[in-house]
Amino acid sequence: MSVRTLPLLFLNLGGEMLYILDQRLRAQNIPGDKARKAVFSLVSTVLNDIISTMFNQKFMEELFKPQELYSKKALRTVYDRLAHASIMRLNQASMDKLYDLMTMAFKHQVLLCPRPKDVLLVTFNHLDAIKGFIQDSPTILHQVEETFRQLTETYGGLSAGEFQLIRQTLLTFFQDLHIRVSIFLKDKVQNSNGRFVLPVSGPVPWGTEVPGLIRMFNNKGKEVKKVQFKHGGKYVTAPKEGSFELYGDRVLKLGSNMYSMNRPVETHMSKASKNSTSRTQESIAPNPLAKEELNFLARLMGGMEIKKPSGPEPGFRLNLFTTDEEEEQAALTRPEELAYEVINIQATQDQQRNEELARILGELEVTDQPRQSASKGEDLLAMMDEL
């Protein structure tokens, strides 16, 4: 297991979370120019708050320290706090769906990386898109660019073998997750059992040749024979290598925003994934590393400043379901273990959400409440609640 995996996992999952929230917030299509401007301002405020927290300097310093990955539940707690780093609120059912879609999207990207090193290009694609969200906020933009420099410094000198270990660690983390996503199913990159389809066409990894030729050499290293064979695919040579610079053509499209087209997204838990929950009880059952994980979370989230809305109105609630009734039903039918029957993310107009947004058109300015310092008490869970 690689101790350099956590930053890549966190940043890529965080990028997918921002894609989903951006699309869902913009889907609140309230009629009227003034209302639309207010929604645009609201989206900017929410994303700026989350991105500012996500790329906090102290937070990044803790994140980039060499350390093993922790349980899915521990990391899920970090994203729960991160999603609530603004005036936006998600209930448990919506957060469950958000996290499932994040994990399946990044799992697909890791599986399809032509080279293990290309997971870094996937990360840069996420950072490039995030910079587009905050292009009018130079302070936050500087935070993101500083993280880019940390990535370059940390991973720029790693060997192919070290990147392979990172990729293996990521795939182990995503093992037994087979949640069907409508976008993947429609694009025929995922089977009905939730497993992804590996392509047999397209560009081969940079620095390699198109398959179909076997070269034979003698004991002196001289080529003596060539044999061609049919590989059954439609491969082409890679046009060029993606840029690992701060600005440049990544070439690889994995990690780009697949929600840029406004279409509904549905996800379903496959039977194989449900059956695997007995093998993933570490996510919910006590384990010997629980105290270490809590200490990790307390350190990691020490840099997170969760904004609490001022005044009697507790911010606004974003619903990833079409209606409140559908959301409540999903929460009732959700099993106790971390497996879900049916998950729906509908990116269409929602009248109930529109009414909520209309009520807060004039309340978009939020002042920070001073955080109370977390005492070094014995109960680390309580300490994390104070962050």
Q: Give residue limits of the domains in the chain.
A: 6-200+246-385
Q: Is the pLDDT of residue 234 over 80?
A: yes
Please report, as a single letter, which amino acid is at residue 78.
V
| pLDDT (average), residues 290-296 | 56
| pLDDT (average), residues 176-187 | 88
pLDDT at 129: 95
pLDDT at 152: 96
Strands (E), the chain: 88-89, 179-181, 201-203, 213-217, 223-228, 234-236, 265-269, 316-317, 342-345
Show the CA angle centred on residue 99, arms to residues 138 and 167, nearest 5°.
Answer: 85
Model confidence band, residue 335 (pLDDT cutoffs 50, 70, 90):
low
Show the CA angle centred on residue 74, arms to residues 12 and 282, nearest 5°.
Answer: 115
Q: Is the pLDDT of residue 87 over 70?
A: yes
Taking only Cα atoms into account, the Rg of the chain, rounded to an integer number of angstroms, comes to 23
pLDDT tens-digit map of 257-281: 988 765 555 556 555 555 544 444 4
Q: Is the pLDDT of residue 103 over 60?
A: yes
Measured distance CA(223)–CA(233) in Å, rounded = 26
